[in-house]
Amino acid sequence: MFKKWKQKLAIIFSTILMLSTLVIAPVQAQTTTSISAKSGIAVDAQTGQVLYAKNSSKVLPIASMSKMLSIYLVLKSIHEGKMKWNQRVHINANVAKISTKSGLTNVPLSTSRAYTVRDLYKASLIYSANAAVMALGIAQAGSSKAFVNEMRAQLQKWGITDAKIYNASGLTEGEVGKEAYPNTAKNDENEMSAKDVAIMASKLLKEYPEVLETTKQTSAWFAKGTSDAVKMTTHNYMLPKMADYLKGYNVDGLKSGTSDKAMACFTGTVKKNGHRIITVVMGASSKDEGNARFTNTQTIMKYVYNNFKPVNYKKGTQVATFKVPEGKVTSVKAVLKQATTVWVAKNQSTSSVDFTSNQAKNDSELTAPVTKGQKVGTAAVKLNDQNLTYLQSADKNLQLVAKKSVAKANVFVRFWRSVANVF
């Protein structure tokens, strides 16, 4: 009889332990919701915390999502004063030919007319005009090859090493004709992982958030008032008033992509309840004009906002206390240099969030004097003693600064402390 009770008690305690583990499981790269696409990811746009992932490191064709990188470089040049919005861009014969090629998304471009950078920029983002973005790349770098070299170099700076980039538009090398990168095959096509694309999108939004003023537009005119005038309509059907708009989710970007190899892809972004996320869907069914990429995106977005809650930490939140043995006071409070957000499951307590700090130097003490705002170390976020998943390793390290200045103690105080420590 006693043996049977022991067995029952063991089962009860095991069940309680299992349930408690489920309740406090940390927010990691989740796959508990199902999408039909080959790969996908969702991240916090500001912190890089990964909230959903499916095959997110698998390198796949990205088609016109490539244009986000091209536009990043164009905006960079504009901010640096190397290009101007009203600058006139002349079109070479190769690009003009591509602009009228059957089966490709384009606005017609003529060698006899110059177009403003702004018009080509809007055509690239709203209408996904392939020749337009190639014309921008040539204007910015001097040639298609030079622009691709810049694209590759930028990805390297971001720590993206597994991407394959051949042209500014995302078309196959065969489709861009004489603008193809030297020594490439006709079926070569830009490739990246969903994680790579999310990094690219986050960099674009952080550094040039004004891009959303264009990507949120459902329609616009190109070369209005000329014989080349085109009424452009967005390919992002998740924007308000479009076919796949999700009520309560005011999507305002970013970029779709479609090709035979890439199938239907979409990088989306939405800000809801004050918190923006980025989603990437790759390799969705291209039937029904790529509708699956948007329904997959809806699934991911709803999953994130319905299952997780953001916990906000203000700039100046104390994370740790570091020793300052030679200071007038022997310790200093280490606080967050910038505000941050940590997503946790909705049924989790905010007390499950913990910060693990490391000082700027390997030693365990700070050297006085310490100045207010001085970098004193970093902190990593843990949830129930488990590390969170971030887009890049640098994303998980939060900068810590001294809350107050600490002057160096005089020689007599330091001597007395050293004597006291001996005894």
**Which segments are annotated as binding site for substrate?**
255
CA distance 53 to 47: 16
290 alpha-carbon distance from chain centroid: 23
CA distance 74 to 70: 6
Which of the residues 67, 122, 203, 403 is marked catalytic?
67
Which of the residues 39, 54, 56, 64 is marked catalytic?
64
Instruction: Report how far apart the first and last C-alpha atoms of the chain are (Å, whole number).
Output: 62
Q: Annotated binding site: which residue ranges?
A: 255
CA distance 82 to 74: 9
Tokens of 15: 């069940």
CA distance 363 to 74: 44
Contact at 8 Å (CB) between 253 and 234? no
Which of the residues 56, 128, 169, 352 is marked catalytic?
128
309 forms beta bridges with 344
CA distance 358 to 356: 7
128 a catalytic residue: yes
CA distance 47 to 193: 19
Residue 22 exposed, middle or buried by CB count within 10 Å (0-12, 13-18, 19+): exposed
64 a catalytic residue: yes
CA distance 258 to 106: 14
CA distance 358 to 132: 48
Closest CA to 137 of 70, 65, 47: 70
Residues designated catalytic:
64, 67, 128
